[in-house]
Amino acid sequence: MTHFDQTVIDAADTIARAVREDFMGIADEGAVTLTAIAGAGKSTFVRDTVNTCTSAGMRVAVAAPTNEQVFSLVASIADSDPAQAVAYVPAQRVELPAWAQRPNVQIVRPAHQAGNATVVVGTIDKLAAARNPRNSGVPKLGTFDALIMDESYQASAGRYYAVADIAPRHLCVGDGGQIHPFTTVEAGMQWRGLGEDPLQTAVGVLRANHPETPLHRFPITRRLDSRGAHIARCFYPSDHVFGAAVADGVRQMMLGSMVAPTARDRALDHALDLATERGWAHLELPARQVLTCDPDTAEAIVDLLIRLRGRNARLVCERQRTPAPLEFARVAVGVAHNDQKDLMRALLDAVGLTTVVVDTANRLQGLEFDICICWHPLAGLDEADEFHLEAGRMCVLCTRHRHACIVVGRAGDREVVETLPPSTPAWPGIDADMILNGWDAHRGVFAGLEQVRVAL
């Protein structure tokens, strides 16, 4: 049995080669951007590109927005070439977790001492502070030949500014479908559409100032299989063509049997069975308008996970070819609000599901799980607003899983986006309409889940 779709992988390799060729071909100052969908194997690509650079005698700085993303990069780059020393510059009060430590990783404090390293890795903010220290008495971190930035759609132009002079050549890799930089201050929106907007993405500011910057698109997802990719297409422009690397039927979940005495148990089982077969289930509580922190939805998610535990789920995939029990640390509950998160955490701890990860979409960006339970952002709302509609939020929640995603909401949720979208404001220079895009994406997801809907 073949585990992979070779055409998809070949197409991705072709793009990867083209990106590296463009990147290595930058003569003076310049950048190359690569847009990928969720789980495209960006980190692998970053790692390989670092190696390409070092083999060519280049010194490289590698950056990402958050500490967690940087930990993964450090481990991945260090593993790829144990002979190559990797300098990690930690942010204040941050320790490299044990799982990311490697013999060839050097932790460099203060950061400017990493100036001679061949490969240095840190958060955007940390590298920026080292390169351009506030205090003129502190020595500056020197420049490198190249900057490789992961998750560059999460990096705002303002943060990018601070680190950009670290190297003349930039490679910006990221996922354009996720949550974009935002602010809670209304006046912070005043620069929308202007070249100086600090809230545009790093890729955005590059493209605005240097329109000739090549924009490549990765045509692959390694995390999602074709079932997952099907829904993920709702979040990306239709001309961004991509396929799943893993072949159909390779990812399998197997559930044990369990007595289902009540109708509720049977409905939960049905959702789990659908998720097993189709990779998706959409569990709907009865239509009702509720406050965002709805205890019934939280309870439904807890019951679903208890049921999943009871049915002894076992998984098979391209990495694990004999059935292995599902680890609950590889299960995430994704929510939109912090109060939902607090409630979920308390309820899950109370039933002993302490290892299940619960977090808001913002903080789940870039993470991967086997199973994801998505608390639908529109659940129980009578009217959709910009925050809840944001396509990026739903995109994150729907693209974290390798095996299955179960969306939990209420029966009336679909109607919220079936009415006419509101008239929306517009800004010269910004063609994409966030509200209407969110509206369209949500409709697409609801339509895609039509066949896997279960009433609770």
The residue among 334 and 380 lying less far from another protein, judged by its C-beta, is: 380
End-to-end CA distance of the chain: 38
Query: What does the alpha-carbon distance between residue 338 and residue 301 come to, in Å, rounded to a whole number?
Result: 16
What's the min distance (Å) between Cβ of 234 and another protein?
14
The residue among 96 and 199 lying less far from another protein, judged by its C-beta, is: 199
The residue among 197 and 370 lying less far from another protein, judged by its C-beta, is: 197
Closest by Cα among 236, 223, 242 to 366? 223
Q: Are strands 324-325 and 331-335 parallel, antiparallel or unpaired?
A: unpaired
Q: Are 373 and 406 in contact (CB under 8 A)?
A: yes
The residue among 198 and 243 lying less far from another protein, judged by its C-beta, is: 198
Q: Please report how many Cα atoms fall inside a 13 Å half-sphere around the Cα of residue 391, on the Cβ side.
A: 24
The residue among 373 and 452 lying less far from another protein, judged by its C-beta, is: 373
Largest CA distance in the chain: 72
Size (the chain), residues: 456
What's the min distance (Å) between Cβ of 138 and another protein?
11
Q: Are 353 and 305 in contact (CB under 8 A)?
A: yes
The residue among 58 and 293 lying less far from another protein, judged by its C-beta, is: 293
The residue among 187 and 259 lying less far from another protein, judged by its C-beta, is: 187
The residue among 118 and 143 lying less far from another protein, judged by its C-beta, is: 143
Residues pairing with 282 in the sheet: 407, 453
Q: Are strands 220-221 and 331-335 parallel, antiparallel or unpaired?
A: unpaired
Q: What H or E segment, with its residue span, contains residue 106?
A: strand 105-107
- Structure tokens given for 418: 């079936």
Closest by Cα among 247, 318, 241 to 15? 241
Q: Report phi then psi at 158, rounded to 5.
A: -65, -45
The residue among 10 and 196 lying less far from another protein, judged by its C-beta, is: 196
Closest by Cα among 37, 103, 52, 115 to 74? 103
What's the min distance (Å) between Cβ of 347 and another protein?
9
Whole-angstrom CA distances from 371 to 283, 337, 357, 397, 403 are: 15, 20, 11, 11, 6
Query: What does the alpha-carbon distance between residue 29 and residue 187 come to, in Å, rounded to a whole number?
Result: 33
Unique residue bearing structure tokens 């601070």: 162
